[in-house]
Structure formats: structure tokens, C-alpha cells
Amino acid sequence: MAAETPSLLPHEQPLPPRKDLWTAAAFLVLGLAIVSLAWSMPRYKEQKGEIYTAPGLVPGIYGLIITGLSIWLAVRSIRRGAHSEAAATPETAHDGSSNLRLALAAGLALLFCVGLIGRMPFWMAAAVFVTAFIALFEWRPGVPWGLRAKLLATALLQGVVTGIAVMLVFEKIFYVRLP
């Protein structure tokens, strides 16, 4: 039974300890930076400000807690063998996951937000983005040119329809301003 039914709390398996150690280090830096910046904030003593209304008090406490928690995570990951040889072995990739696809999606998103929006009407920017996104992700080597042209045409059609539909629906029906 147990073999066929996953554990009742389906959340992820723990990360390799070395990854947790790096995560702890990043959070430690963040926590210390918050504490340092909070400490340097004014306390308004000249305005008879009390310590508990000082702007840096609450973020400073959060910074201290984040620092403490990251130390806890670091200690735990070391205890779990973050320094061992086994922890240094490269992790096997997720089944079917692709960092190339991730980078492409993130790059296109960035290009859309930084490079296209504001430089042309929003509907056009959306159309270019959607068309490029579909065309690049559906690109397969060795596909006959006829089929490729059909795929590109449908991508272009979906891009233009998306751009115009978004403009009409949000500007005319929801009265939302578009970028």
C-alpha cells in the first residue's frame, strides 16, 4: 500500500545539503545587510522619538531573525554532510526539464518588458512577443518548410489576435490602462 500511495504530505524531497548551505550563505548575507542598514537608520532622538518607533527597529528585528535562521540552516546542512565528497557530486537533472527552455522563456520575458514595452503600442509589443515565443519554442530541426511556414503563420495569427484582444478587452471593457 505504502509503495503505491505517495506520502500524505506531498511536498518536495529535501535538497542536497550543499545547496542548502549556499542558500543559507545567501540568506546570511541578506540578513546581515538588513541589520546593518536598519542600524544606520535615524532614531529621531532630537524629536523625542522612542526606540520602539525608530524606523529601523522592525526591519532590524527581521534581519536578525533571518540571520539566525540562516545560521540554523547552515549548521543543519553541515550536519547533514554538506562538506562531504558525496554532497559535491552533481545532481541529476529533473526528468524532462530543460534549463535551455527556462533561459529562453526568461530572456523573451525580459526582452518584452525592457525592450518592447514603451517603444511601440502595447498590442504590437504583445503580438511580437507572443509570435516570437511560439515560433522559438515550436522550432524543430528537420521540419519541412511547408509545415514550418504554417506553424509560423499560426504563431503570427495568435500573436496578433492576442495583442488586439488584450487591447480591446482591457481598455474597452475593464477600462484598464495598458503599458
Looking at 36, 53, 84, 89, which residue binds other proteins (CB under 8 A)? Answer: 53
The secondary structure of residue 16, as a DSSP letter, is: P
Of 89 and 98, the one with the shorter C-beta distance to other proteins is 98
Q: Is 91 exposed, middle or buried (0-12, 13-18, 19+ CB in 10 A)?
A: exposed
**Cβ proximity of 131 and 158 under 8 Å:** yes
Name the minimum Å distance from CB 84 to other proteins: 20
Q: Judged by CB under 8 A, which stretch of 41-49, 83-91, 141-149 contacts other proteins?
A: 41-49
Specify the amino acid at residue 172. K
Q: What are φ and ψ of residue 8, in 5° steps?
A: -70, -25
DSSP per position, 35-101: HHHHHTS---GGGT--GGG-TTHHHHHHHHHHHHHHHHHHHHHHHTTTTSTGGGSPPPPPTT--HHH
Instruction: From 26, 16, 17, 22, select the one nearest 67 (Cα to Cα).
Output: 26
Binding string, residues 133-172; x marks residues near other proteins by CB under 8 A: xx--xx-------------------x---xx--x---x--
With vertex at residue 118, the alpha carbon angle to CA 162 and CA 127, rounded to the nearest 5 degrees, is 20
Instruction: Give yes or no for residue 45 binding other proteins (CB under 8 A).
Output: no
Q: Judged by CB under 8 A, which stretch of 12-20, 84-92, 140-148 contacts other proteins?
A: 12-20
Instruction: Give yes or no for residue 46 binding other proteins (CB under 8 A).
Output: no
Instruction: Give yes or no for residue 118 binding other proteins (CB under 8 A).
Output: yes
Name the minimum Å distance from CB 86 to other proteins: 19
Instruction: Give yes or no for residue 178 binding other proteins (CB under 8 A).
Output: yes
Instruction: Give the integer Cα–Cα distance in Å for 77 and 17.
Output: 5
Instruction: Give yes or no for residue 109 binding other proteins (CB under 8 A).
Output: yes
Looking at 36, 39, 45, 50, which residue binds other proteins (CB under 8 A)? Answer: 50
Name the minimum Å distance from CB 177 to other proteins: 5
Instruction: Give yes or no for residue 91 binding other proteins (CB under 8 A).
Output: no
